[in-house]
Structures are given as C-alpha cells and as structure tokens.
Chain A
C-alpha cells in the first residue's frame, strides 16, 4: 500500500551541483507529474508524463529534465542547481482526470 514514494525527503545542494529526485508509484497509473510548492505561489507544474516514453513541459520547466522509461518511475533531474530552485517538490500520479495522488514531498535547499 505504498502509493507514491519520493526520495530523498530532504536534500541540501551547492549551486551548480546536479541531482535526481526519485519518484515511484505502485498503482499502475499512466499519468505522473512533478510540482513545486513555494510560499505564496501554490503548486506549479514542472513536467508531466502521460505514459512510458511520453513527457511534456508544464508551467515552470526550465532547469529540470525528466524521462519516463517505465510506468512506475518518473525521476526529476536538476541539471545545475540554483538558489531559485530551493523549494518543496511533489510527485503525483493519476488514473483519471484530476484526482492526483501525491507523494510526501522532497524539501530541497540550494545554497
């Protein structure tokens, strides 16, 4: 009964470092997405995928890459971390329109 699992829960990076946020779901959902939450900004869509091998950009894609090689996994890669990427990141999956199941989040600080 894991649902959507995100790792790590916390991460501190230095400017310019790269890293990958992991996301896995065990519900066989086709739709997966990444959001970031910033104070006063709500949740903003970074990238999403409607199935293995298919990804597209959301509202704030710059500085992030994604790939979807399996139905279960949807990693988010930060290519060269910047302080503006300090945020809480949520991965979500869905089997039908709108009802997203979210992971517990990754709190990222970029110094």
Chain B
C-alpha cells in the first residue's frame, strides 16, 4: 500500500520555465511534508518542508503547496536551472504517541532541465 505517490516517474522542462512536481498521499494522519533532491551517487538532500497548518511555503526559487482536502502537494521551481536536474522525492510523516516519527517516501520523479 503506497501511502505517498508520485505518479510521474519523469519530467522534462525547458531552462527558465516553471517545473511542477506532484505528490499525493492517502494517510490522513500525515501532518508534515518534505521534498528531497537526489543527485546520482549521492544521498538525498533536504529541499523544503511544509506543515499541515499551512498551505504554502517558499524558499527562494522553490515553493511547496499543500491541498489537504485533496491530499495533494506540489513543488514549484521557478525559474528552472540545469542544476535542478535530479530525482525529487516527496516524503510525509505523522507524529506518533511516543514523539517518534518515520518518514514515508514516494517513488521519486526524475526532473531533466533542457538547456
């Protein structure tokens, strides 16, 4: 049962245009969402996060939007740059009774920026 889904395995975008990566989740207990970026032969690196108390969070060229009613979040990259070419993972967590939390990751979207 895939609780976090990224339905687009790949996406190609022209340099300078907007990249939109999508993520859907099924677990209504998730209350914190993150995006990670991964280059080949490296570990994932944290990009941006959003709490369920917000519907938008911005950090420079990166904006994450959360639609709780649709259980959907998206990552917008504007403008897209060649260095943004990577695999992007969506992740979610739910606070447990003991204060521990475990991230559930999506399957990833490979973004290619075309110069």
Contacts and interface: CB of A to CB of B under 8 A. Distances in A.
Interface stretch (A40-48, A62-70, A75-83): A40-48
Given A50-B100, A104-B41, A104-B42, A98 B34 contact: yes
B101 interface: yes
Contacts of B36: 100
B107 A90 contact: no
B63 interface: no
B103 interface: yes
Given A40-B107, A102-B44, A45 B102 contact: yes
Contact of A44 (B44, B46, B99, B105): B105
B34 A99 contact: yes
B101 A97 contact: yes
B93 A98 contact: yes
Contact of B44 (A33, A50, A90): A90
A42 B108 contact: yes
B32 interface: yes
A48 B93 CA distance: 14
Contacts of A33: 102
A-B CB proximity, top 7 nearest: A102-B43, A42-B105, A42-B107, A43-B105, A99-B46, A102-B44, A98-B34
Interface of B: 4, 6, 32, 34, 36, 41-46, 49, 89, 91, 93, 95, 99-108
Given A43-B89, A100-B46, 17 more contacts: A40-B107, A42-B4, A42-B107, A42-B108, A43-B44, A43-B103, A45-B103, A45-B104, A50-B99, A59-B104, A92-B43, A98-B34, A99-B34, A99-B46, A102-B44, A104-B41, A104-B43
